[in-house]
Amino acid sequence: MLTTLHESIHPSAIVAPGACIGAGVKIGPFCTVGRDVVLEDGVELVSHVAIDGKTRLGEGVKLFPFCTVGLAPQDLKYKGEETETIIGARTQIREHASIHRGTVTGTGVTRIGADCLLMATVHVAHDCDVGDGVIMSNNVVLGGHVEIGPRAIIGGGAAMLQFVRVGAGAMVGGLTGVTRDVTPYCRVFGSRAQMLGLNIIGLRRRGVERAQMQTIQAAHKLIFSGEGVFAARVVEARERFGADPYVAEMLEFIANPSRHGLITALADDGEG
């Protein structure tokens, strides 16, 4: 059911009966909006945007030309089941980006959090879960079922293998292939991602002060470059540093790896 003034919908746009359009929504030239789409207040579709399926765009979301959101997944097992796509408030999705709906063999939902920026030609495959405040630079590719934690930054041209997890506040360098999980607040880079150290700049931007930073660095160094087996180092880090909330978050992530496992060692040029 349309709930806005028709003046906000360009005459060349096609909005299917049944679509729910919030107050102040702007639908530009040659956009198409499917019948099960919900556009919350203040959404803007600049032009040539295609939205289909059971898709909800949160308040103030802005989609730039030639984006596609909520179309069928690139999965041969998909047989037209009703699944979802959800985009959080104020997220911006730039030109030619594509976000596909979930599948019944996954969670059934592809989810992008609030206040994200997905730059031009980003692809988010079915059943991905992207947290709030994530930035993905141009040409980033997420395989199906990938999880990206809040405030992570993904550099241009990086590619995530399906089911991989990238933790909160992590930084993935440009052109990096991520085939194993990236622990929160860490930096990785390389044709096959290697750990370079902590995302110190990101932690500083979150207001982490010197004393706490030293604790996080000490825990990181123990876990990823200490002596002995990895599991024992994790236990020791929990005993010595587990009271710190950032370290606790890292340890919780490590305790629940995906099927691909973790990046567990620093590269030769890594910095703890």
Q: Which of 70, 144, 149, 197 is catalytic?
A: 144
Residue from 30, 31, 27 nearest 39 by CA? 27
CB 106 within 8 A of CB 125: no
**144 labelled catalytic:** yes
How is residue 263 written in tokens? 């990046």
Residue from 38, 36, 34, 29 nearest 65 by CA? 29
Q: Which of 36, 52, 115, 127 is catalytic?
A: 127
Cβ-count burial of 10 within 10 angstroms (0-12 exposed, 13-18 middle, 19+ buried)? middle
**268 labelled catalytic:** no
Q: Which of 48, 100, 123, 126 is catalytic?
A: 126
CB 95 within 8 A of CB 120: yes
Rg (CA), the chain: 20
Which sequence positions are flagged as catalytic? 126-127, 144
